[in-house]
């Protein structure tokens, strides 16, 4: 039963996420909202709605490991899996100036996440600060892009154009609402099924969140990136990944912490106990993979004129290595032990 719940949840998240983005984009176009705004908000962040709803559902049910694992795992998967596949399908011509601003925001958000994990400060004040930073980033980006119309603005505009839909206003609203309902239902099924799976096999909820849930909620980003690659607009995939990672940290964790503060430290009898002392639900391997994914993205994007297929293969190999370490298929060096 739990396998059916997980499968049904993933399917609903994917279909619902796609419907929500497409319906919303169609409505925005009928309201004469610019492709720039659509690309920066509805596409760049809309594909992260499954992660948002899933994290809220998980923390509401006390499955903090799934909630935080979903965000960290999604950001890792976005770069090492989704972007890797897009690059292998179609090498990405990189314009460093186009991604510098958003890339630096992603690095800053990732550093903030690492700090919050280290000090375990997912309280309402942190949530408020993260949301304030996200709104400030959006407002600043929209103002700058509309004024300068530079490479960054062109990239965000193309992010909107890659979603080729033209529904009527009413139909677009219906599709968007139906998509949102599908995402909510899918997130509920996925969380319940994942919790059951973790308890049945004695697997950490955090591991389930970092893997099955994270990959499942990243399917909309994968779909958008693959479509962009086939349309020879693979650079859009890079912008979408960066935008999604920013929203995952500042938006999803910001909203989650604001609605229901949580702790990433284990408690007595919980899964994260080590020698009777609570430790972080995120291990040094998880944080290392998160930091490494951002570092590789910047290294590859800034040191050449394009992301080549071999670099996509390196990213994919990195994800395979991370999965091997996560599921103990590869011996873990003592320096990388959990905690």
Look-up of token digits 């103002």: 143
Taking Cα atoms as reference points, which of 187, 143, 192, 130 lies closest to residue 2?
192
Q: Which two tokens stand for residue 241?
A: 């990944």
Question: How does DSSP classify residue 91?
Answer: P
The span from the CA of 177 to the CA of 244, in Å, is 21
Taking Cα atoms as reference points, which of 45, 100, 66 lies closest to residue 221?
45
Distance of CA 209 to the CA centre of its chain: 12
| pLDDT given at position 330 | 82
Q: 271 in a domain, yes or no? A: yes
The span from the CA of 278 to the CA of 267, in Å, is 6
Q: 17 in a domain, yes or no? A: no
Length of the chain: 339
| pLDDT given at position 332 | 65
**DSSP state letters, 6-17:** HHHHHHHHHHHH
- Going residue by residue through the chain (339 aa), what tens digit of pLDDT does each one get? 788 999 998 999 889 888 888 888 888 888 888 776 777 777 767 778 888 999 999 998 889 999 999 999 999 999 999 999 988 988 887 777 777 888 899 999 999 999 999 999 999 999 999 999 999 998 998 888 788 777 777 777 777 777 777 888 899 899 989 988 999 999 999 999 998 888 888 888 999 999 999 988 888 878 877 777 777 666 677 888 888 899 999 999 999 999 999 999 864 334 444 455 556 789 989 999 999 999 999 888 877 677 889 999 999 999 999 999 998 888 766 545 555
Question: How does DSSP classify residue 46?
Answer: G
Q: 233 in a domain, yes or no? A: yes
The span from the CA of 97 to the CA of 8, in Å, is 41
The span from the CA of 158 to the CA of 227, in Å, is 12
Question: How does DSSP classify residue 31?
Answer: T
Buried b / exposed e along 208-241 (16+ C-beta atoms within 10 A): bbbbbbbbbbbbbbbbbbbbbbeeebbbbbbbbb
The span from the CA of 240 to the CA of 205, in Å, is 28
Rg of the chain (C-alpha set): 19
Contacts of residue 239, Cβ cutoff 8 Å, sequence gap at least 6: 39, 44, 98, 99, 102, 155, 156, 158, 159
pTM of the model: 0.89
Q: 171 in a domain, yes or no? A: no
- Pair 46, 248: CB distance under 8 Å: no
Q: 322 in a domain, yes or no? A: yes
User: How many alpha carbons lie under 13 Å from residue 76 in its C-beta half-sphere?
Assistant: 30
* Domain that residue 313 falls in: 34-48+64-163+203-336
State the DSSP H helix or E strand holding residue 274, giving kind and residue range, or none if neither.
strand 273-274
Q: 189 in a domain, yes or no? A: no
| pLDDT given at position 17 | 85
**DSSP state letters, 241-303:** HHHHHHIIIIIIIHHHHHHS-B--B--TTSTTEETTEE-BSS-HHHHHHHHHHHHHHHHHHHS
Buried b / exposed e along 301-320 (16+ C-beta atoms within 10 A): beeeebbeeebbebbbebbe
| pLDDT given at position 208 | 92
The CATH number linked to 102 is 1.20.1420.30
Q: How many domains does the chain have?
A: 1
User: How many alpha carbons lie under 13 Å from residue 146 in its C-beta half-sphere?
Assistant: 13
| pLDDT given at position 277 | 53
Look-up of token digits 């290294």: 299
| pLDDT given at position 333 | 61
């Amino acid at each position: 039963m739990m396998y059916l719940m997980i499968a049904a949840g993933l399917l609903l998240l994917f279909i619902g996420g796609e419907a929500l983005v497409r319906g919303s984009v169609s409505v925005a176009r009928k309201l004469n909202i610019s492709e720039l705004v659509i690309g920066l908000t509805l596409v760049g962040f809309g594909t992260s709605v499954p992660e948002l709803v899933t994290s809220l559902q998980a923390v509401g049910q006390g499955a903090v490991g799934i909630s935080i694992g979903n965000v960290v795992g999604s950001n890792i998967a976005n770069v090492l899996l989704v972007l890797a596949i897009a690059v292998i399908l179609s090498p990405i011509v990189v314009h460093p100036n186009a991604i510098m601003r958003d890339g630096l925001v992603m690095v800053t958000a990732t550093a903030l996440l690492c700090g919050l994990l280290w000090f375990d400060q997912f309280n309402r004040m942190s949530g408020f600060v993260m949301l304030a930073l996200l709104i400030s980033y959006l407002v600043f980006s929209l103002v700058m892009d509309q004024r300068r119309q530079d490479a960054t603005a062109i990239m965000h505009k193309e992010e909107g154009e890659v979603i080729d839909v033209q529904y009527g206003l009413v139909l677009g609203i219906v599709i968007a609402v139906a998509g949102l309902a599908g995402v909510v239902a899918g997130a509920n099924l996925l969380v319940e099924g994942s919790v059951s799976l973790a308890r049945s096999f004695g697997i950490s909820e955090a591991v389930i969140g970092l893997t099955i849930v994270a990959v499942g909620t990243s399917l909309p980003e994968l779909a958008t990136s693959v479509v962009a690659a086939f349309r020879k607009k693979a650079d859009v995939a890079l912008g979408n990944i960066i935008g999604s990672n920013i929203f995952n940290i500042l938006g999803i964790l910001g909203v989650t912490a604001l609605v229901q503060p949580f702790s990433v430290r284990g408690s007595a009898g919980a899964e994260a106990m080590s020698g009777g002392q609570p430790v972080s639900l995120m291990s040094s391997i998880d944080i290392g993979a998160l930091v490494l994914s951002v570092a590789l993205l910047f290294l590859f994007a800034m040191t050449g004129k394009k992301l080549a297929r071999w670099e996509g293969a390196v990213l994919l190999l990195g994800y395979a290595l991370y999965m091997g370490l996560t599921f103990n298929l590869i011996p873990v060096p003592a320096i990388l032990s959990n905690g």
